[in-house]
Structures are given as structure tokens and as C-alpha cells.
Amino acid sequence: MCLYPHGFIGCGMAGISEQKRCEIDGTVFNPFSPDFVREPHATWLKLVSEYPIAWHRELNMWVVSSHELCGDLLKSHDFSPNYRLWEHALPEKLEAEKLDFDRMTDHSLFMVTQKEHLRLRKLTMPAFSKPVMSQIDATIRDLIVERFDEIGSPEAFDVYTEIASKLPVRSIARMIGVSAEHEAMFQKFANCVVLAARINLTPEQRETAMREGQEGIDYFREQIALRRALAHPGEDFLGALIAAEEDNDSLSDWDIIALISSLITAGSDTAIDLHTYLINGLLSHPDQYSLLKQQPELMENAIVELLRHGSMGKFPFFRFAVDDTEFGGQQIRKGQSVLVNLSAAWHDPAKWENPQTLDITRDLNGNLVFGAGPHFCIGTYLVRAQARIMLEEFMRRFPDAELSGQDGDLEYDYAHHNARRITRLRVKTNLEPVRKVA
Ligand code: HEM
């Protein structure tokens, strides 16, 4: 049986030599089952308590689920996110066959060697510093306020259509400094980057997505060249990347374009779920929603707790074994893929008391919501700023909002490749009675 809806190179190729390993199949964990997507807690509990690490026979990958093992895995140098290390990866193209898109991907944070990754993270640090990042607050606020103005004062609206699907890519565009007239081009480039990164694509589909991304690559090459020609490249995000220097080393054009593509890959899909899960989490827990209204200083903690509690990921993060290695008492072969099942880890009762309770005052020390180790999320400032401003605006405009029906007429995209993607979440604003009284 293959659990991937669109086919997957590794399916049905599970090794037969490993005798003693702990194994599971789709009866324990089937990420595409509608039952699991709707109600995943029993599965996560089974995984963290009975199968903290197990070989999934049908998905052909290791699944690591306990909080402790996920933390160890993220920090380990025995595993890499570079999918070219995967035993079933397609052979790398010859230099002459490469598209610009391949050259960009070669430099991305997920593909480079550990040494190169460290170099890139060091050189990109100034661009993520407080002075540069705080500049984005104002532009993100404008974007969000404008969106809420467009939503207006309806009786009800859909959070996915009106907020979640509209803000993430535009927020990244604002952070990078893409001008309004180029936003449509950037959106197209982002679509290509996200599509080309999907694991369940045929080689032909991937090649098409990569070719269609050329316009975006050309745009950024031109922008970088223009900035490099100036006496000073500027104080904004792009300027900081161009000016960054360490030990006589600086970022190349490909390093910068690849960073932008990494931000899109890691930051546009996740941020779609960010908005729906934040609002769903709050409105389905009215006690926590009113606590946050009374104590807005809890906002930062609430955002992380809502992400932990909502656990929107289904297949989010992978590692590939750099060599044969022992991990969590299991023998992992070089090139095997490992799912870092953070959604399960965020509900591990060994780490979290009453993990299914949403408690915005919870002590979140040691959480893995933004990862751990060398690949710790680089976008946390943007996530927090975007989430905080969006929630403040939502609460200000719709303080008495409730979910429509019992559960916001919730709908999921059950076939989504890596998330428990909510595609409908209707909210009643409860503004109408107030207006009538007035
Ligand atoms: C709900 C929102 C988000 C969550 C929960 C989240 C979580 C994470 C986690 C767990 C990792 C570690 C992945 C690993 O170790 O393989 C990560 C990495 C990363 N995130 Fe985020 N993220 C979010 C949004 C964003 C946004 C908005 C951006 C960009 C603007 C972003 C950019 C990145 C990048 C580039 C990496 C890779 C860093 C590296 O490899 O060095 N993320 N994120």
C-alpha cells in the first residue's frame, strides 16, 4: 500500500534486511487519513508513548515522535536536511544541464554542507538583527490594516480566504523590500519555489515549476546588482545582506537569492496555517480568548502556545542520515529519511502536562515550536510580528467574534502534502446587533 496520494519514489521499497527494528504502518500512523487530520491526538499519543522512533513500512521512512528524540535529532550532526543525501534521490544534474533555479537551490539553507550552513547563518545574522527587523513592523502593520479594511464589517467571513491565504507571501515580500508593483511577479515566483520543493512531484512537474521561476530570479539578480552599484547598499533587509562581512567573506548573489527562496519555502506555507490555527485556537477556547483580551501582555506566550496546541504539521520536517548510525536504540542506514514529527512531540505528555489543554500562561521553556539546533527557524521575528499584529487587529475589530456553527464550519484539505491544512474557518463577527442598537 502506498500512503502518498500522488505517488512517491520511495514507496514500496522498504528494506527487508532490518529484522529487529521497531516498525509501524498506516494502521498506526496514516497522515492522509481524514480521521487523523480531524482528530490526531490519539495517534500522537500512541506514537510518543509506544513508538517514539519507528520505521514506517509504507511511507518508507523513520518516524521520530517523542519530544526528547526530536530535540536530539534536530541538534545532531549525523542527520542533514539535504534531500540529495536521500537513498532514493534522483542523481544530481550535470553543471551544463542546470537551470538558474538549480543554482539557487544549491545555495539554499536546506541543501548546503554543515560548514557552509554555518557560514550562511553567520553572514545573514545582521539582516535579522533587531534594527533591521523592527523596520518591518510598520510595513507589515500597513499590510494587515489594509487587509482588515478590505474585509470591512461583515456579519461573518472566512479566515482562510480573507486572511490566511492573502497575508503570508505579501509579508515576506514586504520584509525583503519587494515593491508593490512587483508583488504579482513575486507571488508567481513564490508559487514556483513552494511547488518545486514538494516531495511528491514528478521530475517533469518540478522542471516546469523551476523554469517558471526564472522571472523572479532575474528580478532579484537585477535588484542586487543595482544595490551593489551604490556607494552604500542601504539599511534595509537586502542592504544588510549585501553589506554583511565576516573574516573577509561576504554573501554571493546566489547566496542571497537562495536565502530569499528558503524564506519562501519555509515561511509561506507555514504562515497560512499560522493564521487559521491562531484564530481557531482562540475562538474555540473562549476562556483563553477573554484572558488574552484582559491581559494583552500574554500575547507572545499565547502565540507559541497556540502553535504548540494546534500542531498544524503533518509531514513538516525531514532529515537524511549522513552515515550508518545508531539513534534512539535503532540502526539507521545511510541515506534513509527521517520524519521529525514535531506535531506529536508538541503533545508529548512526558514534556507537557495536559498537552491537549490550551493554556496561554503555560511555561513553554524548552519548546521546539521553532525547532532547535543549527536550523532553528530564521523567521521567528516575522512570525511573531505578523501573528501579533494580525491578532491585535482581529481583536480590536471583532472583540465578540465567535466561530460560525459548532466549529467554524471547518474544512480541511485532507490530501495536503505536509500540513493539516484548514481551508475553511468561518467566523461570526457579532457586529450587527451592536450597530442596530446604536
Ligand atoms: C508558524 C510559523 C512557523 C513555524 C512554526 C516555523 C517553524 C520552523 C521550524 C521548526 C524550523 C526548523 C526546521 C528544521 O530543523 O528542519 C524552521 C526553520 C526555518 N524557518 Fe520557520 N517557522 C515558521 C515560519 C517561518 C517564516 C514566516 C519564515 C520566513 C520568513 C521561516 C523561515 C525559516 C527558515 C529559512 C528555516 C530554515 C533555517 C535553516 O535551515 O537554517 N519560518 N521553522
Dihedral of alpha carbons 238, 130, 193, 102, sign:
positive
* pLDDT, the chain, mean: 92
What 16-21 contacts at long range (C-beta under 8 Å, 24+ apart), as own/partner pairs, is 18/55, 18/331, 18/333, 21/54, 21/55, 21/330, 21/331
| 162 and 91, same domain (yes or no) | no
Contact predicate 203/90, CB 8 Å = yes
| 107 and 20, same domain (yes or no) | no
pLDDT value for 315: 78
Q: Is 174 in the pocket of ligand 1 (CB under 6 A)?
A: no
Q: Is 382 in the pocket of ligand 1 (CB under 6 A)?
A: yes
| 335 and 353, same domain (yes or no) | no
Contact predicate 90/104, CB 8 Å = no
CATH of the domain at 38: 3.30.43.20
272 Cα: distance to centroid of ligand 1 (angstroms): 13
The pLDDT tens digits for 358-396 are 999 999 999 999 999 999 999 999 999 999 999 999 999
Averaged pLDDT, 80-85? 93
Element (H, E) at 250: strand 249-250
* Whether residue 16 has pLDDT greater than 50: no
The pLDDT tens digits for 134-185 are 888 888 999 999 999 999 999 999 999 999 999 999 999 999 999 889 999 9
| 252 and 185, same domain (yes or no) | yes
| 137 and 225, same domain (yes or no) | yes
pLDDT value for 157: 98
**Continuous H helices in 92-236:** 100-106, 114-124, 130-151, 159, 168-176, 183-196, 203-212, 214-228
* Ligand 1 atom 36, closest CA: 377
| 12 and 114, same domain (yes or no) | no
| 113 and 19, same domain (yes or no) | no
Q: List phi, psi (to 5°) of 245.
A: -145, 140
Query: Domain containing 148: what range?
Result: 99-311+346-437
Half-sphere exposure of 36 (CA within 13 A, CB side): 23
| 299 and 336, same domain (yes or no) | no
Closest CA to 259 of 274, 237, 231: 237
Q: List phi, psi (to 5°) of 67.
A: -60, -45
Q: Is 375 in the pocket of ligand 1 (CB under 6 A)?
A: yes
Q: Model-level pTM?
A: 0.92
| 217 and 351, same domain (yes or no) | yes
Q: Is 267 in the pocket of ligand 1 (CB under 6 A)?
A: yes
Is 366 exposed, middle or buried (CB count within 10 Å of its CB: 0-12, 13-18, 19+)? exposed
The full DSSP string for 331-388 is: EE-TT-EEEE-HHHHTT-TTTSSSTTS--TT---TT--TT--GGG--TTHHHHHHHHH
Cα separation of 60 and 1, whole Å?
11
CATH of the domain at 190: 1.10.630.10
| 245 and 189, same domain (yes or no) | yes
Contact predicate 323/78, CB 8 Å = yes
* Whether residue 133 has pLDDT greater than 70: yes
The pLDDT tens digits for 178-214 are 988 999 999 999 999 999 988 778 889 999 999 999 9
Q: Band of the pLDDT at 434, cuts 50, 70, 90?
A: low
pLDDT value for 314: 82
* Cβ neighbours around 76 below 10 Å, total: 18
| 126 and 34, same domain (yes or no) | no
Q: Which cell numbers in the block locate residue 195?
A: 511547488
- Work out whether strand 245-246 and strand 249-250 pair parallel, antiparallel, or are unpaired: antiparallel
| 291 and 182, same domain (yes or no) | yes
Averaged pLDDT, 277-304? 97
Q: Band of the pLDDT at 2, cuts 50, 70, 90?
A: very low
The pLDDT tens digits for 317-353 are 999 999 999 999 999 999 999 999 999 999 999 999 9
268 Cα: distance to centroid of ligand 1 (angstroms): 10
Total domains in the chain come to 2
Q: Is 270 in the pocket of ligand 1 (CB under 6 A)?
A: yes
